[in-house]
Structure 1
Amino acid sequence: MAQQLVERRGARAHDLTRTARMAAYGGFVFGPAATLWYGVLQRSIRIPSRPNVEILARVAADQCVFASTNLFVFLSTMAVLEGGDPRKKLQSTYVEALKKNWMVWPVVQFTNFMFVPLEHRVLVVNVVSLGWNCYLSYLNSMPSGAHIANATYPPDV
């Protein structure tokens, strides 16, 4: 989606290896980790007398622990799979991506934890992740520091 809808690369310029890296990360790292994580949140953060506080605590834990760690692992993994330097990738993109993450995901997760049963939360995240992963793929494909040199890139989510 990032290559065709955002970057408009066309079929001939489509990077299948990039698509495979993203699919592998989603299937082998993010999917299993998220499934486990939502169970941990459900069991570990319990404030029965204050359901809204419980949801806020889960959102805070999700964003401070899981989202920040997942973003770190994603950018590092992509750099390694691409033969690049994970430190450089993290230095050039992590903070900006984390800021964008915090613009999108707290609202999604609050809604998710408030209204969606545990067994369907990963599905909700996967649907929203279609757009989010386009952003991450786009961000990851940019040369180091390119988003700083041109403030319009990566695009605001």
Structure 2
Amino acid sequence: MVTTGVLFATGDILAQAMFPHVDHLDNDNPEEHKDTSLWTTFHYPRTLRAMIYGSFFFAPISVMWQTRKLPLIKNPFIHRYRQIWPHSKIHFYDSTWRLSIDQLFMPSLVWIPLYNTVMTVLALHDNPLHLAKEKLENNWWRVLKASWTVWPAFQFANLMWTPVHLRIVAANLWSVGWNCFLSFVHNTKGHGKGSGKKLEELVDIETDDEEQTMVYS
């Protein structure tokens, strides 16, 4: 829980440090992009929310799933070959089956709904459950596709070669870069919706009203 919370907070700190945004930016005035006096200050409650989510929500479920449940799942289609195939081959087919279950069901049914619900509640939005439901209706499929562009290859390597007790740490380290990448794509002028770039269109999960424009030093 401590490790996951720290790494979630690290991802948010890096995102805020690398991509500071400007409130009420006039898109018709490009000079405002260079005016550092308009940059917002560091938003500590946002980092605290990330830490709380990582420590008290993501970590316990991840531990239960990654270390207690997922390793016990076996590929049912190779049952008759388990006594004759080498361990490395069996491990490959089991890991592939575990990857399929992990990527098909956990993001869609657990992680995306959980993140939307917890973060809207922690942010003390008015009627947070309604807002979470609205976000899921608008963004669930887009977020899921974004997840599939980054996580399957990593998770396959994680399942194949990382010891069970270190898989969550490895995933959390990977997610630091993933969170920063999403922050860049969603919140940098010229990226995301309308950019004409397929990858950016794919991973942009914000509505037009929620878009923020970022600036660089």
Measured against the shorter chain, the TM-score band is: 0.7 to 0.9
Is 1:79–1:89's contact at 8 Å kept on the other side of the alignment?
A: no
Is 1:112–1:124's contact at 8 Å kept on the other side of the alignment?
A: yes
Which residue does 1:29 correspond to in 2?
57
Figure out how many residues of one structure are paired with residues of the other and give that number: 150
Query: Cα deviation per residue 1:30-83 (whole Å; 9 max; x = unaligned)?
Result: 111111101201123356553222111111111122222111210122122221
Is 2:158–2:167's contact at 8 Å kept on the other side of the alignment?
A: yes
TM score, norm. by length of structure 2:
0.59
SS at 2:99 equivalent: helix
- The structure that has the greater radius of gyration is 2
The runs of 5 or more residues in structure 2 that have no matched partner are 1-13, 23-35, 205-217
C-alpha root-mean-square deviation of aligned residues, in Å? 2.9
TM score, norm. by length of structure 1:
0.79
Is 1:75–1:86's contact at 8 Å kept on the other side of the alignment?
A: yes
Which residue does 2:70 correspond to in 1?
41
For 1:12 and 1:22, the matched residues in 2 are separated by: 19
| AA at the equivalent of 2:118 | T
Find the partner of 1:17 among 45, 55, 66: 45
Query: Cα deviation per residue 1:74-95 (whole Å; 9 max; x = unaligned)?
Result: 0122122221411121123222
Which residue does 1:65 correspond to in 2?
105
Find the partner of 2:143 among 79, 97, 102: 97
Is residue 77 of structure 1 aligned with residue 118 of structure 2? yes
State the percentage of identical aligned residues.
28
Query: Cα deviation per residue 1:82-121 (whole Å; 9 max; x = unaligned)?
Result: 2141112112322211111001111011000111110111
Which residue does 2:177 correspond to in 1?
131
